Amino acid sequence: MSKTDTRALAFVSSGTIPPSPPPSSEVGAVHWLRENLFSGWFNTILTLASIAVVVLLVPPIVEWAFLDSVWNASSLSECREKGTGACWAVINERFNQFMFGFYPPHLYWRPILTFVLLFVALAPVLFGSLPRQMLWFSLLFPVVAYFLIWGGLGLEPVESRQLGGFLLALVIGVAGIVLSLPIGILLALGRKSHLIFIKTICVVFIEFIRGVPLITLLFVANSVLAYFFPPGSNLDLILRVVIMVTLFASAYMAEVIRGGLAALPQGQYEAADALGLNYQKSMRLIVLPQALKISIPGIVNTFIGLFKDTTLVVVIGLLDPIGLIAATRADSNWNGIIWEFYVFVGFFFFIACFGMSRYSMYLERKLKTDHR
Amino acid sequence: MKTSVFLGTLAVAGLAAGLAGAATLDDVKAKGFVQCGVATGVPGFAFTDASGEWDGFDVSMCRAVAAAIFGDPKAIKFTPTTGKTRFTALASGEVDLLFRNTTWTLSRDTDLKLDFVGVNYYDGQGFMVPKSLGVSSAKELDGATVCIQTGTTTELNLADFFRANSISYEPVPIETNAEATQKYLAGACDVYTTDASGLAATRSTFEAPGDHVILPEIISKEPLGPAVRHGDSEWADIVRWTLNALVVAEEFGVNSGNVDQLASAPTDNPEVNRLLGTEGEYGAMMGLPKDWAVKVVKGVGNYGEIFDRTIGPDTPIGLARGLNALWTQGGILYAPPFR
């Protein structure tokens, strides 16, 4: 240690210097803006362009959809007199038709009750915290729903042709979704089976259905099947459509689940065998829970696709929401309206599909057991 | 021996099936309603009102058939059919008749095994242009861009017309009428061509219909009419004569207002008497009640009433009678005599 500096020390710090606040450019909104929106010339241009687009687009849309829109009118010409914006009056007038089709109005409570019960039935399946006894109701629900919607057992019968609008989309969509998952699991397991007969059937079925467009299957349901039955003894058209949609979705579901099965390490299968579990038990307790968890995004993806595909039934003359648009536009009072219908129908489908997507994210978080 | 027995059995079975399929009237009477195939939505011709009831020009005429058989225009159920499903729906027996602005053509009448029983609307392909284009005839459309629905007879007619007049055009293919309207109004094409009735209906929905003109040229014949299955003449007769009754009723001034009075006692006009069943047994010849035409006119009105109510000049569609006026008034609407 050198002793070169012998001068008396004028100041000795007795503690640490208090931290000074960071420069204003490094904190708060300004920092965030600089960091995220204006970090370089390219980002700055993008930001300014985006702001310009928002400013140009949003006010006219808000004006059209809300400020200048007309909610009460009896025809398009009346709408045009009252305001320059959207003519929501047509949705207002035809709301029940868009919801239920031509379902008898005094029986609207039946589809509504079915819809409420649907959630009661779904709740124990979707959320594990609910009592398991509720699952019995879930199993019973399809029967209850059938009799509520089509009548029978003392309820006034309603014909399939009277179903329409979102009711029809939901009937086809929910039935397809609920039925395609179990069938898809069986097909996926069948495709991996060592029994050549079962395996061949599953492979042929999956490859055939995946190789044919859904529209073709719908035409088969509508036209070709009708030739197979004598006139008058028709299998219900909606039932035929549900069967075809279910078969179609099952084939896709099978491949999604097969992907999950393939992603599972071979060690899991061997571990199940080593524990002495038989086939059913090893599948039920070890393989499927893991494979299905891996497949969740793919499964929900198929569900969402299936639900949106229900609008294809318009090509066989079923009046789902899209089909009702044509029938309503043909009314001379409302002929000429286009955007309002599609905005409304699109909004409904967005809510349904977004809901499914959010649920799948919740499920993925809940089931996340790996600690990666 | 065995083969001939087998073939004989097949023939008998085929015959029985043919007979069973043939008696549409008995089937209809047994189930208590007429199943009618209509369009999923054509302005003025077939649409649903706010309460979900089908209405329109074609729909009313289909109700007339129900009124003829059951005396009640509501004894009917409608099956909406698309351009792709309409013929199979009829052939498979899903509907009893098709009343769906379908053009009567040779191939449909023969090859598709349909029977067209008459014409309820004479249509033809026309052109609509903005007034600002300053065109007064379709022959001046050299070099125009034309919005046209793909896969229809209109596409072929258009090519024929322009080739015959040796002028050029540029087609803009579109799928639906709604899309065509948007494109035409946005100026993506100078001309929109489809059936004249469709043009008029489309123009009526514009904010300024007066700014667009429908050119005088009609370049094709589109006789629209009801069709039934091939090989059931009794059923075809009923549909044909229901349609004729509507026309004859207009010709002799029988309408929904005075039909009860005219039918209460024989009038001076024997044709009216035969129509309304106060003379002769004309209903029985078709297996219908005596007063079938009374119920038809009372239920839906005569041809002119239906026309005025659904697509006539006072409706938003605003079609003139034109070719569809009675033969006595300069049109070609002509029904054979009731005798």
Three-state secondary structure readout of A229-266:
CCCCCCCCHHHHHHHHHHHHHHHHHHHHHHHHHHHCCH
A44-58, A192-206, B13-27, B222-236: lowest mean pLDDT where?
B13-27
Chain A residues in contact with B85 by the CB 8 A cut-off are 219, 222-223, 315-317
What confidence category does residue B8 fall into, taking pLDDT thresholds of 50, 70 and 90? very low
What confidence category does residue B295 fall into, taking pLDDT thresholds of 50, 70 and 90? very high
**A174 in a domain, yes or no?**
yes
Does residue B62 have a pLDDT over 90? yes
Residue A52, both tokens? 């310009």
Q: Do A335 and B40 touch (CB under 8 A)?
A: no
B5: contact with A, CB 8 A cutoff? no
**Residues sharing a CB contact under 8 Å with residue A253, sequence separation 6 or more, in sequence order:** A180, A181, A183, A184, A185, A187, A188, A299, A302
According to the model, what pLDDT value does residue B6 have? 43
Q: Could you tell me which of A249, A263, A175 has the C-alpha nearest to residue A214?
A: A249
Q: Which of B19, B29, B47, B112 to mutate to test the interface with A (most CBs of A within 10 A)?
A: B47
pLDDT tens profile A60-71:
888 888 888 888
A107 contacts A115 by C-beta, under 8 angstroms: no
- The sign of the torsion formed by the CA atoms of B43, B47, B48, B53 equals positive
pLDDT tens profile B236-276:
999 999 999 999 999 999 999 999 999 888 888 899 999 99
DSSP 3-state of A152: strand
A165: contact with B, CB 8 A cutoff? no
B336: contact with A, CB 8 A cutoff? no
Residue B238, both tokens? 């009923």
Q: Over pLDDT 70: what percentage of chain A? A: 95
B154 contacts B148 by C-beta, under 8 angstroms: yes
What confidence category does residue B7 fall into, taking pLDDT thresholds of 50, 70 and 90? very low
The stretch B176-187 carries a mean pLDDT of 83
Q: Do A332 and B27 touch (CB under 8 A)?
A: no
**A23 in a domain, yes or no?**
no
A344 contacts A91 by C-beta, under 8 angstroms: yes
Tell me: do A38 and A186 sit in the same domain: no
pTM of the full structure: 0.80
Tell me: do A62 and A196 sit in the same domain: no
B256: contact with A, CB 8 A cutoff? no
**A198 in a domain, yes or no?**
yes
**A56 in a domain, yes or no?**
yes
Burial class (CB in 10 A: 0-12, 13-18, 19+), B156: exposed
**A7 in a domain, yes or no?**
no
Tell me: do A41 and A177 sit in the same domain: no
Q: CA-CA distance, A160 to A175, in Å (whole number)?
A: 15
| Chain B, nearest residue to A226 by Cα | B92
Chain A residues in contact with B41 by the CB 8 A cut-off are 326-330
Tell me: do A325 and A186 sit in the same domain: yes
Q: Mark B305-314 as b/e (b = at least 16 C-beta within 10 Å).
A: bbbebbbbee
Q: CA-CA distance, B166 to B184, in Å (whole number)?
A: 24
**Residues sharing a CB contact under 8 Å with residue B264, sequence separation 6 or more, in sequence order:** none
Burial class (CB in 10 A: 0-12, 13-18, 19+), A225: middle
According to the model, what pLDDT value does residue B318 have? 81
Residue B159, both tokens? 């090519």
Chain B residues in contact with A329 by the CB 8 A cut-off are 41, 43, 47, 178
Q: CA-CA distance, B3 to B271, in Å (whole number)?
A: 57
Chain B residues in contact with A226 by the CB 8 A cut-off are 88-89, 92-94
- Structural domain of A46: 31-67
Tell me: do A96 and A225 sit in the same domain: yes
What confidence category does residue A255 fall into, taking pLDDT thresholds of 50, 70 and 90? very high
Q: Do B93 and A327 touch (CB under 8 A)?
A: no
Partners of B224 in the beta sheet? B103, B121
**A344 in a domain, yes or no?**
yes
Q: Over pLDDT 90: what percentage of chain B? A: 37
Instruction: Give A172→chain B minimum CA distance, Å.
Output: 18
Residue in B47, B82, B89 nearest the CB of A330: B47
What's chain A's Rg over C-alpha atoms?
Answer: 30
B47: contact with A, CB 8 A cutoff? yes
Instruction: Give A243→chain B minimum CA distance, Å.
Output: 19
Q: CA-CA distance, B228 to B89, in Å (whole number)?
A: 11
Does residue B317 have a pLDDT over 90? no
Residue in B41, B44, B205 nearest the CB of A327: B41
What confidence category does residue B303 fall into, taking pLDDT thresholds of 50, 70 and 90? very high
According to the model, what pLDDT value does residue A234 have? 61
Domains of chain B, start order: 2-115+223-256+297-329 (3.40.190.10), 125-220 (3.40.190.10)
Q: Please state, rounded to an integer, the average pLDDT across all residues of chain A.
A: 86
User: Strands, E, within chain A: which ranges?
Assistant: none
A97: contact with B, CB 8 A cutoff? yes
Q: What is the 3-state secondary structure (H, E, C) of chain B?
A: CHHHHHHHHHHHHHHHHHHHHHCHHHHHHHHCCEEEEEECCECCCEEECCCCCEECHHHHHHHHHHHHHHCCCCCEEEEEECCCCHHHHHHCCCCCEEEEEEECCHHHHHCCCEEECCCCEEECEEEEEEHHHCCCCHHHCCCEEEEEECCCHHHHHHHHHHHHCCCCEEEEEECCHHHHHHHHHCCCCCEEEEEHHHHHHHHHCCCCHHHEEECCCCCCCEEEEEEEECCCHHHHHHHHHHHHHHHHHHHCCCCCCCHHHHHHCCCCCHHHHHHHCCCCCHHHHCCCCCCHHHHHHHHHCCHHHHHHHHCCCCCCCCCCCHHHCEHHHCCCECCCCCC
Q: Mark A324-351 as b/e (b = at least 16 C-beta within 10 Å).
A: bbbbbbbbbbbbbbeebbeebbeebbee
Tell me: do A169 and A63 sit in the same domain: no
**A372 in a domain, yes or no?**
no
Q: Could you tell me which of A94, A211, A246, A215 has the C-alpha nearest to residue A164?
A: A94
According to the model, what pLDDT value does residue A119 have? 87
Per DSSP, A71 falls in state -
Tell me: do A190 and A252 sit in the same domain: yes
B331 contacts B322 by C-beta, under 8 angstroms: yes
According to the model, what pLDDT value does residue B97 have? 93
Q: CA-CA distance, B171 to B149, in Å (whole number)?
A: 10
According to the model, what pLDDT value does residue B5 have? 44
Q: How far is CA B133 from CA A272, B141, B169, B196, B269, in A?
A: 79, 10, 15, 19, 53
Q: How far is CA A72 from CA A324, A338, B64, B180, B207, in A?
A: 20, 17, 35, 28, 19
What confidence category does residue A31 fall into, taking pLDDT thresholds of 50, 70 and 90? confident
B182: contact with A, CB 8 A cutoff? yes
The stretch A124-146 carries a mean pLDDT of 83
CB pairs under 8 A between A and B: 110
Tell me: do A46 and A162 sit in the same domain: no
| Chain A, nearest residue to B30 by Cα | A232
Per DSSP, A121 falls in state H
According to the model, what pLDDT value does residue B3 have? 43
What is the secondary structure of A158-213 as a DSSP string? --GGGB-HHHHHHHHHHHHHHHHHHHHHHHHHHHT-S-HHHHHHHHHHHHHHHTS-
| Chain A, nearest residue to B21 by Cα | A231
Does residue A150 have a pLDDT over 50? yes
A157: contact with B, CB 8 A cutoff? no
A332: contact with B, CB 8 A cutoff? yes
Q: Provide the number of structural domains found in chain A.
A: 2
| Chain B, nearest residue to A103 by Cα | B52
Chain A residues in contact with B40 by the CB 8 A cut-off are 314, 317, 319, 323, 326-327
Q: Could you tell me which of B230, B246, B253 has the C-alpha nearest to residue B68?
A: B246
B92: contact with A, CB 8 A cutoff? yes
CATH for A294: 1.10.3720.10
Instruction: Give A239→chain B minimum CA distance, Å.
Output: 15
What confidence category does residue A3 fall into, taking pLDDT thresholds of 50, 70 and 90? low
pLDDT tens profile B75-113:
999 988 887 788 888 888 889 999 988 888 888 888 888
Tell me: do A50 and A167 sit in the same domain: no
B18: contact with A, CB 8 A cutoff? no
Tell me: do A190 and A336 sit in the same domain: yes
Per the model's pLDDT, the better-predicted residue between B281 and A371 turns out to be B281
**Overall size of chain A counted in residues:** 372
Burial class (CB in 10 A: 0-12, 13-18, 19+), A122: middle
- The sign of the torsion formed by the CA atoms of B130, B136, B138, B141 equals negative
B21: contact with A, CB 8 A cutoff? yes
Q: Which of B74, B82, B100 to mutate to test the interface with A (most CBs of A within 10 A)?
A: B82
Tell me: do A43 and A99 sit in the same domain: no
Q: Do A314 and B94 touch (CB under 8 A)?
A: no
Does residue A261 have a pLDDT over 80? yes
């009252």: which residue's tokens?
A82
Q: Could you tell me which of B63, B67, B115 has the C-alpha nearest to residue B233?
A: B115
A323 contacts A314 by C-beta, under 8 angstroms: yes
Q: Do A338 and B82 touch (CB under 8 A)?
A: no
Residue in A93, A227, A335 nearest the CB of B201: A335
pLDDT tens profile B273-290:
999 988 888 889 998 999
Give the H/E segment covering residue A299. helix A288-309
Tell me: do A95 and A36 sit in the same domain: no
A223: contact with B, CB 8 A cutoff? yes
Q: Which amino acid is at A252?
A: Y
Does residue B294 have a pLDDT over 50? yes
DSSP 3-state of A101: strand
pLDDT tens profile B135-175:
888 888 888 999 988 767 788 888 889 999 898 999 888 87
A34: contact with B, CB 8 A cutoff? no
**Overall size of chain B counted in residues:** 339
**A164 in a domain, yes or no?**
yes
The stretch B325-330 carries a mean pLDDT of 92
Chain B residues in contact with A75 by the CB 8 A cut-off are 316
A99 contacts A166 by C-beta, under 8 angstroms: yes
Q: Which of B55, B78, B85 to mutate to test the interface with A (most CBs of A within 10 A)?
A: B85
Q: Do A316 and B52 touch (CB under 8 A)?
A: no
Q: Please state, rounded to an integer, the average pLDDT across all residues of chain B.
A: 86
Does residue B18 have a pLDDT over 50? no
Q: Over pLDDT 90: what percentage of chain A? A: 28
